[in-house]
Structures are given as structure tokens and as C-alpha cells.
Amino acid sequence: MSFPQHRPRRLRQSPAVRRLVRETHLVPSQLVLPMFVREGIDEPVAIASMPGVVQHTLDTLRRAAAEAAEAGVGGVMLFGVPAVRDATGSGADDPRGILNVATEAVVAEVGDALVVQTDLCLDEFTDHGHCGVLAGDGSVDNDATLERYAAMGLAQARAGSALLGLSGMMDGQVAAVRAALDAEGFTDTLIMAYSAKYAGAFYGPFREAVDSQLKGDRRTYQLDPANAREGVKEAVMDADEGADIVMVKPAQPYLDVLADVRAAVDIPVWAYQVSGEYSMIEAAAAHGWIDRRTAIQDSLLGIRRAGADAILTYWAAEAAGWLREQL
């Protein structure tokens, strides 16, 4: 009888051995928690399509940020939901606008414990829901939008944001915001570019989270899901324009792009596990079809294994607790 010459199973025989030879590691500091803060509410508002996630008040936002810091997460990414919107998203760069006020509050609460980050995009602040200023024909005016992004970036930097998440997918957005920041002395403010941000259905629950006013879609500026090489090209361009970090979004459907971007640039690469990814696992777990904790851990590890140096995930604080239990 012939016996196997190679026995890979020897490396799987016990938890201790598996832990010792594990190739990919995930730690709490590699997780970033996205959070929503809504103007004009007195208590948190549950987001029906994202079980367990809420639109915060300023007070509950501070408490949640403190809990995230205690859990050891690497950062929080703030999204604002204003009470009033207009065509140019004027609330985005208003110093007393909800996102900038919230940034000041969170920086004061936890700014020394983690990286306070802010979403830099106009979609939450416009009455048409697009990520930029509209031209007369209804299309998004790229260059007029860059001027708004520069103003928004300065407002966020003044509010204390350590990292600006440029998520609008406008051509030249990194160079425009970097130039504005440097001209005003904010040379240490980080830019994370949503470089490979793909259009598609996985953002559905997020639209509820920010009370999006969008009609139509964003396919003229977000990437076509069929194009992997284009995502890599965008990441390389953003790195050349001065981005400190580049992003692939969504995460799970684009792990191939994530791996290719990781190989193409020599700066940190992050991924965003978006609302649709979150809600699918939560829904399946609620029906008893999958084990919730294991599915969450598998999904995060897969994103990390594909090349993400950090992951934006709505499970950041909870997953950080699990990871600390394993230490």
C-alpha cells in the first residue's frame, strides 16, 4: 500500500499549530468604523436595511466613537446627514454644518486614540443626490465639482479631520484637494482616495442611511463593474496625484481588483465592506442560514488576504472585540 509522501494536514492538526503557521493576520487597528450623524434628532434613528446601525445624535456619536477607541479600532469614518440640502451642497463646507460640527466633537472625544476621518463627497448634501455640481444638461460638472471639493476639504481639515476620504470619483480630485490643503498649511492632513469605486447595487442600504435624494444612477463617474484594469489605472493615477492611501469599494465583489491594486502601488490600500455586504450577511444570519460570527470573520479575513491593509466595516468595533479575545 502506498502512503502519501506529503502530509499538509500536519499543519492543521490543532488550534495551536494552525495559529502558529497562519499566513494572514487581522488585528483591531486594521479596522475602521463608518458612522452616520444626523442633524436635528434627539435620539438615534435605526436604519431598517442595516440592522444594528443607526443615525447618531452628536451625543451618541461621541459615545460610539469612545467605544470604538476602547475596542482598539484604527479609526472612524464620519458621514453627515443634514436637515437642509441644496443644489451645490453648501452645508458641506459650512463650519457649522453637521459633518464639521460632528468632526470637532469626535476629535475632542477620541482624536488622540484613533484616526478621525471624514467622507469628502457632496451626495449627502445635495438636493439631487449626486456627488457633484450639475451642469445645465443635468450631467455632473467635473471641474466645478473640484472647486467644491477643495472648499469641503479645507472645512474638514479646519474641523480637525486627520484623513479626508475622497469618495466622489471626479477626475483630478486628489490633486485639487491636495493643492488646496497645502496652500492653507494643512500639509499633514491625509488623503485617502476612493480610487476604484464601482457602480452597482451594493450601496442600496447606504442610501437609506444618508437619506439619499438620488434619482437615476452614478454610472457616468463610478466605475463599470466589468472593468478591472480601469480600477488599477485609477489607483495609480491617484497615487501619482498625491494620495496617501487608495481604496477599493465595494470589497467582496472586487477582491481581484483589490489584489491587482495592491500589486500596482506602494502606498497603503484599503477596502470598504459596504452596506450591501453587511446587510446580506445580517439577513442570512437572521434567517439561520449561516453562522453570523463565522461569516463576518470569514468575510473580513478574505478582504485582508486579498491585499487590504485596512478595512472599513460596520462590524469594526464588534469584530475588534472578537479579535482581542483571541490574543
**pLDDT (tens digit, 9 = 90+) per residue, 44-101?**
999 999 999 999 999 999 999 999 999 999 999 999 999 999 999 999 999 999 999 9
Q: Which CATH class is domain 26-325?
A: alpha beta
pLDDT at 257 over 90: yes
- Is residue 201 classed exposed, middle or buried when 0-12, 13-18 and 19+ CB atoms within 10 A define those classes? exposed
pLDDT at 211 over 90: no
pLDDT recorded at residue 77: 98
pLDDT recorded at residue 38: 97
- Integer Rg of the chain from CA: 20
Q: Could you tell me whether strands 245-249 and 269-272 are parallel, antiparallel, or unpaired per DSSP bridges?
A: parallel
Q: How far apart are CA 32 and CA 312, in angstroms?
A: 5
pLDDT recorded at residue 157: 98
pTM score of the predicted model: 0.96
DSSP state of 51: T
pLDDT recorded at residue 159: 98
- 281-306 mean pLDDT: 98
Computed over every residue of the chain, the mean pLDDT equals 96
Instruction: Look at residue 272 and give its three-state secondary structure.
Output: strand
pLDDT at 27 over 80: yes
C-alpha cell at 293: 460570527
pLDDT recorded at residue 214: 87
Amino acid at 282: E
pLDDT at 28 over 80: yes
Torsion angle, alpha carbons of 197, 202, 204, 207, to 10 = -30
Question: Is 233 assigned a catalytic role?
Answer: no
Percent of the chain with pLDDT over 90: 93
Instruction: Look at residue 191 and give its three-state secondary structure.
Output: strand
pLDDT recorded at residue 64: 98
Q: How far apart are CA 155 and CA 161, in angstroms?
A: 9
Find the catalytic residue in 197, 218, 262, 304.
Answer: 197
DSSP state of 161: -
Find the catalytic residue in 56, 249, 262, 304.
Answer: 249
Indicate the pLDDT class of residue 290, thresholds 50, 70 and 90.
Answer: very high
Indicate the pLDDT class of residue 239, thresholds 50, 70 and 90.
Answer: very high
pLDDT at 1 over 80: no
DSSP state of 91: G
pLDDT recorded at residue 216: 81
How many separate helices (H) and strands (E) can be counted in the chain? 11, 10
Domain layout of the chain by residue ranges: 26-325
pLDDT recorded at residue 76: 98
Indicate the pLDDT class of residue 2, thresholds 50, 70 and 90.
Answer: confident
pLDDT at 140 over 90: yes
Question: Is 215 assigned a catalytic role?
Answer: no
Instruction: Look at residue 65 and give its three-state secondary structure.
Output: helix
Instruction: Look at residue 60 and give its three-state secondary structure.
Output: helix
